[in-house]
Amino acid sequence: MNIHTLFVCKSCSAVLDHEDADDRAEGNQLFLKLLEAQKNNSTYSTLNIQPVGCLWSCVEKRSCVVSFVCRQKYTYHFVDLTEDSTSDLLQFSQLYQKSEDGYVLPAKIPGKLRSHLLARILPTPESIPT
């Protein structure tokens, strides 16, 4: 069984100084809490929500950044998300998990999430050792 992970940046903000922990965006922390609150929802229990220190998108002045990752599937990197994006992300997670290769048709990406997609990265070939 493949593990589907939603990486959520804990530190991205419009402030570029990662040296100071106080500069972390409160919005990102709230966003993470809203997503983590869904862990008890059986619909989303197969999604591993993983906070990470940095997804390095704030250098482009992007905030509230997440990435959907699963071995041998496309990776999706969304930026500039808001609290309103949580339900769209969770709906997207269902489409992503059901897709054999992770590809979700752009027209199927829920709500305004499509306009927040920064990158869709090709799956890692099976020939690359893990």
In this structure, is residue 128 part of a structural domain? no
Residue 111 is part of a domain; what is its CATH number?
A: 3.40.30.10
In this structure, is residue 114 part of a structural domain? yes
Is the model's pLDDT at 127 over the cut of 60? no
pLDDT in tens, 102-117: 999 999 999 889 999 9
pLDDT of res. 18 = 46
Mean pLDDT of 25-41: 74
Model-level pTM?
Answer: 0.81
| Stated length of the chain | 130
Please provide the average confidence, as pLDDT, over all residues in the chain. 81
Give the helix/strand (H/E) hosting 8. strand 4-9
Residue 125's SS3 state is: coil
Please give the Cα distance from 103 to 112 (Å, whole number).
18
pLDDT of res. 60 = 61
In this structure, is residue 53 part of a structural domain? yes
Q: What secondary structure letter does DSSP report for 78?
A: E
Is the model's pLDDT at 120 over the cut of 90? yes
In this structure, is residue 80 part of a structural domain? yes
For the chain, the C-alpha Rg in angstroms (whole number) is 14
Mean pLDDT of 46-71: 82
In this structure, is residue 129 part of a structural domain? no
Domain extent at residue 13: 4-121
Nearest to 104 by CA among 127, 79, 70: 70
In this structure, is residue 126 part of a structural domain? no
In this structure, is residue 57 part of a structural domain? yes
In this structure, is residue 44 part of a structural domain? yes
Count the domains in the chain: 1
